Structure 1
Amino acid sequence: MGMARMTKIVENAADLERELFWFRSVLEARIKIHFGEGATEGSVLDIAPPDLDGSSSEYAGFVRRHQLSFVERLALVLALVPHLRPRLLDACFGRDTAVDRRLTEFGGAQLGSDGELLPTAETLAFLLGGDDLALRFSVQLLLDPEHLFARHDVLRLGGGDGVTPMKAPLRISEELLCRFTTGEPRRLGCGPGFPAQRIETRLGWEDVVLQPSTRKHLEEIETWIEHGETLMADWGMAGKLRPGYRSLFYGPPGTGKTMTACLLGKSTGREVYKVDTSLVVSKYLGETEKNLGRVFDQAERRGWILFFDEADALFGKRSETRDAHDRYANQQVSFLLQRIETFDGLAVLASNLRDNLDDAFARRFESIIYFPMPRAEERARLWRQGLSPKARLDGSVDLEKIAREHALAGGAVMNVIRYASLQALREGGRPLTAEDLLQGIRKEYAKQGKAG
């Protein structure tokens, strides 16, 4: 573990210890007031939270950035307690021995028949004011969809259908939990419920070979990433322009579409998430929309670039409705059309053929960028850049001639280099020969259904 990461952990732990001490003070005061033990006058609102102005922890930064009120801060700590020090809540989840039941005024939701009890909005209302209706109503304001807790995915309510908001468990987002503890964001795993995964590259713009016209069009996207927020907010264009930016990359396979999406993220400090189309489409009505909705929501909150490879699998042309399957497929395309149009971020769709996409999508792209097959001089550069500095070439190899005679995209060139390099390594690291490269080229042609 690096020193920088360890420093973050220590800073977070120190501030959260202070916050937990404050929470315990509020809890003990509320219980004493509730049971008439000691002073019954005053309010827990008089117990000031710790001053974090001089701290550089992730938690302190979040509190300052959002200027959290007493109620908001107590709600945040309450949601953290089960993860940090669950025993602090034991006093809230006792039983009334006179009637042999749980103390319902403390709130709390039980996980399973013998599971632990989690704090709810009802628990927060009890901590703040017991039976005070005004304070109870202030808690309900925290659950509003327009509150920062919902807009920034800070707290969410657990529980299933039929559970009233005040009785649903308060859950902190996993991303914030990771930031407040380890100081690092949680990497979301790809799966049926979240059909996207992060993609990245170690290469730079100098390593990708693009025609000048293609590179020029990409500058428009970089400009939007850098100045889009100023355009919408400071220049007041939010009411006149659609949110976000949508771009279509189209062209033959292996021409650099995925690599370019990765480099756009790398050069602008944004994570790129590739949507896995095989995990998106579900046979269950509504599941596709729900799964994609999660991806769009997370991307908006975290500023991701969304990349849809083979986009025509999701955004293909709507067909004539002949049966329920066609109707549902068209419904999915309509949902995607609406969702991507309101996406407040950068969405890149990649397709081999521009005409494969639904016409309604094509009209909504801010840019459509063609990735053509590389020309002979660009192919020569791909061959030269693709070879390892440690690779030795036999005298029979003429890269310029190979580039002229074989029209391969960058991805195919790298496949050939991989094949030829492994043949040389298998035989003691000998020089690569023209025959090694030609064998690899024939394999690539065979994959494409072409004669070598």
Structure 2
Amino acid sequence: MEKPAGIPINSNGFISEFIIENNLTETDILLLGLALVPHVKPDFLSSIIAEYLPNGGELPEFGGIKTKNHRGILPTGETAQFLIAGNDLDDRIAFYNYLHNHSFLYRKGTLKLDIVPAGEPKLSGQLVLEDEYIEKFLTGKVLKPQLSSVFPAQLIETQLDWNDLVLNSNTLNQIKEIETWLKFNEILLHEWDMKATIKPGFRVMFYGAPGTGKTLTASLLGKYTRRDVYRIDLSMIISKYIGETEKNLSSLFDKAADKDWILFFDEADAVFGKRTNVRDAHDKYANQEVSYLLQRIENHPGLVILASNFKANIDTAFTRRFQSIIEFEVPSYSERLQLWKNNLPKGIKIAEDVNLNEISKKYDITGANIVNIIQYACLRTLEEENENINLNHLLQGIKKEYVKEGKMM
């Protein structure tokens, strides 16, 4: 199970790059090929068995399983164990130890064994490569995970840039600190050898009124540091059944552990809220969920952003562990004016009676409100075939936003 002295590898293709970059052992290379082969040659393992059993029958030590859709044999941990160790008992035990304690692919979650029913040998589980890697190895393209019950998160992206994010200077400076961590964390940990001193990951809290730029900021951090940003769908994580919330979160964090993603928990109060005094079993398990979350977030090696409307809603056990807590304030007059100018369409004129300075001073609204108002006014302008965006349509849009939020104009 030692690293090979030098394996001749074709330098072309992502597989070769992956093997060289991660200095895979011969055993890991075999595991990688074994898990990948059913996707390119479905009969490969079946044909091997057929050579030894031309009249049919089974070879239990070879392992492998058959499924409802796939007509060939899918490899299991037992398959890999037999190919590497044969029937030598010491080598078979050594392989078991290698897989669970030393395999780069297994430790990083690139490859896993399916869970088997209680009492059955662990190595009888199917040997499975992550979907993203299968797609990358076969096509050269990265398959983005889709929102599902297995992966309760959705990729968020933006066409905007930093100039479109209108915030006060203090908030922007704190955001730049996050960007600095994303750029230099690997150097700090490994080249400066600080990994024994500094905990992995970076934990940030965004708080402020809805529509003040929290989600856009997360998207821009991903865009400009070339990282995927996944917004966690809390409705798919929280469960009334004991233990299910932890299970859902565990699945999410396990998948994200080595992906260099940014995890964005929007409206995080639902899961990360304050723990309560234990009055009944429900309170007890709710507190256990918060404690479990605290542990997983603290150990997560990437950037985790929690967004909340109110800082006070988040349990102090979390806030003590944040590297940064950033307030997103409702924009000031000058910021509102900039937001109006940034978001009004450039290809159509504004009526002469529209005074953006006056509107910005009079109406205390957020950036999201302004975008909604402009959209409403533009649609009304198109519907009425007007040449200009007029004041009346803008005021109607403002009134709609005020009504939505229960405010008086």
Structure-2-length-normalised TM-score: 0.93
Amino acid at match of 2:36: L
CA distance in 2, matches of 1:397, 1:387: 12
CA distance in 2, matches of 1:343, 1:167: 30
Q: Does 1:79 align with 2:39?
A: no
Residues 242-279 of structure 1 deviation map (CA, whole Å, 9 limit, x = unaligned): 21111111111111011001111111111111111111
Which residue of structure 1 aligns with residue 334 of structure 2?
377
CA distance in 2, matches of 1:187, 1:349: 22
Which residue of structure 1 aligns with residue 46 of structure 2?
90
Which residue of structure 2 aligns with residue 58 of structure 1?
14
Mapping for residues 357-368 of structure 1, pairs under 5 Å: 357-368=314-325
Secondary structure, counterpart of 1:144 in structure 2: helix
Amino acid at match of 2:398: I
Residues 352-401 of structure 1 deviation map (CA, whole Å, 9 limit, x = unaligned): 11101111111111011111111111101100110111122111111111
Which residue of structure 2 aligns with residue 234 of structure 1?
191
Mapping for residues 10-409 of structure 1, pairs under 5 Å: 51-55=8-12, 57-94=13-50, 101-111=57-67, 116-162=72-118, 163-409=120-366
Shift of residue 127, structure 1, vs aligned partner: 2.6
CA distance in 2, matches of 1:264, 1:258: 10
Shift of residue 441, structure 1, vs aligned partner: 0.3
Preserved contact between residue 244 and residue 345 of structure 1 (Cα < 8 Å): yes
CA distance in 1, matches of 2:172, 2:70: 61
Shift of residue 291, structure 1, vs aligned partner: 1.3
Residues 181-201 of structure 1 deviation map (CA, whole Å, 9 limit, x = unaligned): 111111111122211111010
CA distance in 2, matches of 1:79, 1:200: 32
Which residue of structure 1 aligns with residue 402 of structure 2?
445
CA distance in 2, matches of 1:357, 1:411: 24
Which residue of structure 2 aligns with residue 43 of structure 1?
none
CA distance in 1, matches of 2:196, 2:318: 21
Shift of residue 104, structure 1, vs aligned partner: 1.7
Q: Is there any run of 5+ residues in structure 2 with no aligned partner, and where?
A: 1-5
CA distance in 2, matches of 1:308, 1:130: 48
Shift of residue 300, structure 1, vs aligned partner: 2.2
CA distance in 1, matches of 2:163, 2:223: 13
Preserved contact between residue 257 and residue 350 of structure 1 (Cα < 8 Å): yes
Amino acid at match of 1:110: K
Amino acid at match of 1:198: L
Structure-1-length-normalised TM-score: 0.84
CA distance in 2, matches of 1:215, 1:185: 32
Secondary structure, counterpart of 2:325 in structure 1: strand
Secondary structure, counterpart of 1:364 in structure 2: coil
Identity fraction in percent: 43
CA distance in 1, matches of 2:40, 2:200: 38
CA distance in 1, matches of 2:285, 2:191: 41
CA distance in 2, matches of 1:120, 1:394: 70
Preserved contact between residue 72 and residue 142 of structure 1 (Cα < 8 Å): no
User: CA 1:187–1:156 in 2, change beyond 3 Å: closer, same or farther?
Assistant: same
User: CA 1:425–1:298 in 2, change beyond 3 Å: closer, same or farther?
Assistant: same
Preserved contact between residue 46 and residue 72 of structure 2 (Cα < 8 Å): no
Secondary structure, counterpart of 1:110 in structure 2: coil
Which residue of structure 1 aligns with residue 3 of structure 2?
none
CA distance in 2, matches of 1:117, 1:67: 29
Preserved contact between residue 142 and residue 149 of structure 1 (Cα < 8 Å): no
Decide which moves more: 100-109 or 244-253: 100-109
Shift of residue 134, structure 1, vs aligned partner: 4.3
Mapping for residues 412-431 of structure 1, pairs under 5 Å: 412-431=369-388
Which residue of structure 2 aligns with residue 30 of structure 1?
none
Secondary structure, counterpart of 1:86 in structure 2: coil
CA distance in 1, matches of 2:99, 2:378: 59
Shift of residue 129, structure 1, vs aligned partner: 4.7
Preserved contact between residue 92 and residue 106 of structure 1 (Cα < 8 Å): no
User: CA 1:283–1:210 in 2, change beyond 3 Å: closer, same or farther?
Assistant: same
Aligned pair count reads 403
Shift of residue 324, structure 1, vs aligned partner: 1.8
Shift of residue 425, structure 1, vs aligned partner: 0.8
Shift of residue 112, structure 1, vs aligned partner: 5.4
Q: Is there any run of 5+ residues in structure 1 with no aligned partner, and where?
A: 1-48
Preserved contact between residue 53 and residue 64 of structure 1 (Cα < 8 Å): no
Decide which moves more: 344-353 or 123-132: 123-132
CA distance in 1, matches of 2:35, 2:43: 13
Shift of residue 171, structure 1, vs aligned partner: 1.2
Amino acid at match of 1:133: L
Decide which moves more: 393-402 or 72-81: 72-81
Q: Does 1:411 align with 2:368?
A: yes
Shift of residue 241, structure 1, vs aligned partner: 2.5
User: Aligned-residue CA RMSD in angstroms?
Assistant: 2.2
Amino acid at match of 1:188: P
